[in-house]
Each structure stands twice: as C-alpha cells, then as structure tokens.
Structure 1
Amino acid sequence: MCHSFARSRPLTLGVELELQLVSLRDFDLTRAATDLLDGLKNDGRHGDVKLEITESMIEINTRPRADVTAIAQDLNALRGLLVLQCARNNVATCGGGTHPFHRWPERRISPGERFAFLSDRYGYLSKQFTVFGQHIHIGVASGNDAIWLTHALNTFVPYFIALSASSPYLDATDTGFQSSRLTAISAFPLSGQAPDIQDWDDFVRHLELLKACGVAQSIKDIYWDVRPKPEYGTVEVRVCDTPLDVDRATEMAAFAQCLASYLLINRPTLTPALQAVVARYNKFQASRYGFNARLADPVNRRALVLGETLDDLLEALKPHAHDLGCSLQIECLKKVLREGASDADWLRKKLTEYSSLPELVRLSTERFTQASSYTSSASRQ
C-alpha cells in the first residue's frame, strides 16, 4: 500500500482514453491490441499507448500537462499514431462508452499478470468490463487536498456523466440510457462513491483495513467514481464515457480543471455522508436521462433538473476558464447543453438515418479520425 502522496502542481491534467478496436469487415470488436502494440513506434513525447483488460481495447494516456491545449496536442498525436497503426493492421478504432452489438463471451483477456489476476478474481465480469471510459487526473498539492477534492467532486459526478454520455446501445439494443456503460462498473464490489474519509491519514488507515481483510491489495483494486491517485499526486475522475472524438475529451478535461479550480478556491461546505444517501440515485438519473435528469439535493431537500443547474455551473466556471485558457472548451460544452447535442444524441440520430449498427460503428471510426481543433495556441483565450 502507498502511504505517501506524491506532490504535483495543482490543477495539472492528465487524460486516459479507453478505445475500441473493430474489424473493417463487420465493425464488430476484434482481437488486435497485442499485435498493434508490437508494431507501434511511439517516442513517448505525447504519452503512452497501453493494453487494457481485453484484447479488443486499447488505452492512450497523455503526459501530465498544465493546460488543455497541451492535452489536446497529446491526444491528437496519440490519436493519429493509433489510427495509422490500425490501418496497417486492417482494423479501426473509435470512441464511445460501449460497443453497440459485440458479445462479451467472445472477448479475450489481455496478457499480463494484472489482467490474469482480475480475470481470476472477477470471472465473467472481467470480459463484461469491455466498456470504454475517459479518466481525468487533476493535480493537487497534498494528500489532504486530494481527499477534500475527492469528496467535493463526488457531488458533481452526474454532470460528468451527462456531458460525456456516449453509450446508448448495448447488446444490439437501445437501452433507453444516455450512458449504459456504468452498469458494468457498478457490479464490482469496490465501485461507487468514496466513503466519508476525513483526511489523508484516515485514507491510509482505510486502505490498510481493506488489505488486512483481503478486500484490496492496492488502490488499483478500488473503482470509486472519484479517487485519489497517490503515486501521481492527483485526483482521478472515472465516470466519463469515452467521447467520440478528442475534442470532446479535451472539453471534459477543461471542465474537470475549471471545476477543481472553482472548488479549491471557494471551498464549499461538504456533506459526504449526506451525499452518499443519494449518490447512486443521482448517478442512475444522469445515466438514464442525461441533461433531463432530476437530481436529489439532500442538503436543501429538493429535486433539481440537471441541465438547469449545469447551465448555472458552467456560467460560474467562466472566470476560471479564462484564467486557465480554456474558455472555448467551456463555451462548447454550453452549446452541447443548449442544443441537447451529446454524443449519445449523435449516435441515436445517426442510427435513425442509417438503420444499421455496423454502419453506426463505421461512422464512429470516421469521426475519431478527425484531428483536434484545439491543438494550436490560437485556441487559448
């Protein structure tokens, strides 16, 4: 267990994207990750490309960056590298939180000691875990700040879900959800909201308890919606679907950075135990209804419409976005909210037009090939 917290520069960013690997023949998921990595030449300047739990997944990770322009540059470079390598291997890659029609029993666990351990521990859940998310790391100065920010961000989990939702289809069916991906994660025993831990020392004691009981070997075994990542000196937001393009991924990183800045400066009163009462309900509402979700506010004992409160929040984040150089990204999210134009909505619209799930995946691969519009310094405000 890690007892120390690696200090990092506050509000630095890192992004992980889990991506789909699909066959060009039928656009079903295909077993290609190991072959891709074997031939990939990556100099590491923009981050890493890594295996994930099954061979139909691949993960790209940016380097730690101070602003979203650098994040966009990393994501765009890794996207281009991966698209090129996929073409050489006669496969394609795309975003989206779930593949619309794959069969999970056909998946194969990736090679590696960690993946073998997960497969042994979780059985069929490991293959069902072939879902695709964006994880966002936010730098903090200390372990105590990490615990505080973990609790502070937990209140806003539904907003991350609604803004990133891109998984309406599962098992060749429209689930009726904006994000069906999170149902696969909720099956794991250490998923959900972090418990009401007071500070870093309390967090260490909590991990030691889990280890002593055989529940967890390390922080990697904990799938909280938001969790501290001590070896990086960050807090990690883990509830986002993988977007359909790197621009939306950049916008989600900007949202996380601005929200963390807002929270750390204003230091609102936190009520983790009270929020835990409604956390699962609010996640369900956001996953099911997106911007139309009705969220429970346990502090004021009322229900709120997610889209209305999100609009107010994005307005409040504008000064932070200006200072952090990401006003364009926050304005784009406001447009997404105003027009009801989430990635889930895009997928449903395209399926209505083309009436074919394989064609929908093909269109998603085309969208992922698009270069980022945020890679030049001109995008900074």
Structure 2
Amino acid sequence: MDTLPTVGVEEEFLLVDPRTGAPVGRNADVARTAADSGIEVQLEIMRCQVETSTRVHSKSSELLQELRELRRGAAICAEKNDAILLAVAVPPTIPDEPLRITSTPRYHRIAENFGRLAQEQGMCGCHVHVAVPDREVALRVSNFLRPWLPLFLALTANSAIYRGGETGYASWRNILWRRWPSAGPPPHFGSVGEFDTAVEDMLALGVILDRKMVYWDVRPSVTFPTVEVRVSDVPATVEESALIATLVRAAVITAQRGNGAAVVAEPTLRAAYWRAAHGGMDGPAVDPSDGRTLPVQDLLAKLIDLIEPALIELGDLGFVTDALTGLLSRGNGARRQLDAYRARGELADVIDELAEATLYSCR
C-alpha cells in the first residue's frame, strides 16, 4: 500500500436522568441543542440513545483528540436537556418507564417486524471504520479479523450491571445483541459473490429488512468505502476507544499485507465469544489457532506480535503499549462497574463511576 488507510470511529451513548440514573428519552432534544452548537449528534433506535461520529483520521493522536471533543460537546448538550451522557453498553438501572423507539419510519418498521427484540434495545456499541480499496479487500480483511473479534470484545466489555444488578457477564450487551438473526461473527467468505448471496438470502427470508441490518461484527460498510468492526461495547473512556481503533487499523493493514486468515470452526468461535462476554479482560480467552484457553493478556501478546510491524509503520506502537498498560492496570468499563457496585451495593456509585470515566481526560 502506498498510503496507510484512514480510520474513523462511531460511539453510541446512553442518556440518563441525573437524579435516578434511569434512561431518559431526550435524544431529539440533545441532537437539536447540538446542532445549534455546531455539533453533529445522530439519533439511535431508542430515544435514550445518541451517537457521535469522528472524521477520518490518519493519526491516532488526532483521532483521540476528536473523540474527546465529541464526548465533551455531547455531554454539555445532554446536560442542557437535564440528562447525563454515559459511555455504557446497557442501562445499569431499571427504567422509570418503558424505553421508546425513536420516531423515524425505518425504526418504526424495525420495531413492527421485530417486536420486543427492537423495543428492548438501549444497547450502545463502538464501530471502527478503516478505509479499504474495494469490497473484495474488505472481505479478505473480514476473514482475517474474524478470529480476533472475541479479543476485541473482551478488551472493551462495559456492560456488567444491567437493570439493577450484576449480570454475571462482563459484556451483557453482547449476549443480548446476538439475539438478532443477523448479528454475531460473520461466516468466512470465499468471495464477494458468497457474501452477496448470504445477504440476499437474509433479505428474502425476512430476517433483515435492508442491508443496513447486516449486523455482523465485521462487515463491508453499507455507507462508506471501509471495513467496519462492530463487536465492541462502547468503551468507558476515549483512550480505550482510540486504542481499539488503532489495534483494528493495524490488523487491517496486516491483513492486506498478505497474512492468511485462520478458518475457525463455528463452535470454537461461539465458545470464544461466550468466554469473552463472560469474563472480559479477567477471564480466560480462547486461542483461535488451537481452541485452547489462555489468559487474555497472553492472547493479546500474540495479536501484538502479529500486527507489530503495522503499529511501527503507523508510529503507534508506543501509544498502544502505554494504553494497554494503563488498561490492564486500571481495568475496562466492566471492571469499573463491578468495583463501584461491590463497594457498597449502590447503583448510584456505578452511575457516578461511569459518568467520570465517560469524560475522563475530555475536560
């Protein structure tokens, strides 16, 4: 490659009541306030959710800075509408009222066809886009990334507390999300034709209503000339979002440099996903090369060894090393939630911890 691919990040956030911590359906108000301030905030499927999107970047430092600016701006707009912006993947508290669908024709159509599966959304993820020249390359990259998706999930897990108590999982969002018929890891595709046939079959069977509902955790983007990695919970901090984006970008470069993709059997990959969702950073991981369990840190070291030449070329090896050291020491969102909750058993402490993490280094 003559030039290194650019990267962009989308982050989804939960809006909660500052007094109760319960989700509040004020995304349209927050988006209008943001627009008046020159900030673009998108509406998500539930009225208690908003999304921000960065520009494309060639430097991780600039990506990190924009992530800080977007979170800070969105949080100010939320505060002006009597809400708190939280980087959390599922609502920690019991809603005061039923969660409501954002009023757009597409979202209403999804709700009509998928019932409570859509109506119980309220889940927030992080999507990383990395530029690729065409769909054939996107699918080759997808095949390469597929075995590593559970590791990315383990690093970003941020949904240990749900509706008033512990779930027993680091990423409860992932368990809920994979109820969708088009969610989870994609198949290993041998060609663009195979991919198109799979999508057309889902459309014909009615399990998706349009191509935007191809919710696989890595896919060629429907909207941009990118490969999109969607497996992550929204990370607790911007540093973690920039970290996962940098790891994904380096892995995309590595894939394009001719590194072959391991074809992991579906049962092994399902087991790896469950392990990642259950234990997050603190549980055992499943090595995609042999199906054996090992500490997350050891599997992470294997990934870093694999993508290190790309990280060096990007100038990001130092950033990744420092960010991982901090993450392993401090813990991700799931660990933060559990530590806060177990100290006194108070959900308010979880909300406070998440609010602080959301804007950590952003002010």
Residue type at the aligned position of 2:161 = Y
Match of residue 202, structure 1, among 186, 194, 199: 194
- In the other structure, the counterpart of 1:69 is 61
Give the structure 1 partner of residue 298 of structure 2.
308
Partner SS state of residue 307, structure 1: helix
**Does structure 1 residue 243 correspond to structure 2 residue 240?**
no
Quickly say closer, same or farther: Cα 1:201–1:103, change in 2 above 3 A: same
Query: 2:110 & 2:261 partners in 1: Cα distance?
Result: 38
Amino acid at match of 1:262: T
**Alpha-carbon distance change, 262 to 235 in structure 1, aligned in 2, over 3 angstroms:** same
Structure 1's 193 and 332: CA in aligned 2 closer, same or farther, altered over 3 A? Answer: same
User: 1:14: which partner in 2?
Assistant: 8
How far residue 73 of structure 1 moved from its aligned partner, in angstroms, is 2.5
Q: Which aligned pairs between 1:1-381 and structure 2 lie closer than 5 A?
A: 11-41=5-35, 48-103=40-95, 106-271=98-263, 274-297=264-287, 300=290, 302-336=292-326, 338-339=328-329, 341-372=331-362
Distance 1:293 1:25, change over 3 A: closer
In the alignment, structure 2 segments of 5+ residues that lack a partner are none
Deviation at 1:367, TM superposition (A): 2.7
Residues 249 and 301 of structure 1: is their aligned pair in 2 closer, same or farther, counting only changes over 3 Å? closer
* Aligned residues: CA RMSD: 2.4
Contact 1:165 1:343 in 2 (8 A): yes
Larger mean Cα displacement after TM superposition, 348-357 or 138-147: 348-357
Moved over 6 A (4+): none
Helix, strand or coil at the partner of 1:291: coil
The TM-score, its normalising length taken from structure 2, stands at: 0.91
Q: 1:230, CA displacement in angstroms?
A: 4.3
Task: Answer yes or no: is the 8 Å Cα contact 2:90–2:173 preserved in 1.
Answer: yes
* Alpha-carbon contact 1:336-1:342 (below 8 Å) kept: no
Give the Cα separation in 2 of the matches to 1:216 and 1:126. 12
Q: Say which SS state the counterpart of residue 127 (structure 2) adopts.
A: strand
Amino acid aligned to 2:341: L
**How far 1:104 sits from its partner (Å)?**
9.0
SS at match of 1:288: helix
Give the share of equivalent positions with the same residue, in percent: 24
Contact 1:165 1:342 in 2 (8 A): yes
Q: How many residues align?
A: 361
State which drifts further: 167-176 or 360-369.
Answer: 360-369
5+ residue gaps in structure 1? 1-8, 374-381
- 1:6 is aligned to none
Tell me the secondary structure at the aligned position of residue 137 of structure 1: strand
Aligned equivalents of 2:247 and 2:36: distance in 1? 28
C-alpha displacement at 1:172, in angstroms? 1.2
Shift of 1:342: 2.1
Does the CA-based 8 Å contact 1:227-1:237 persist in structure 2? yes
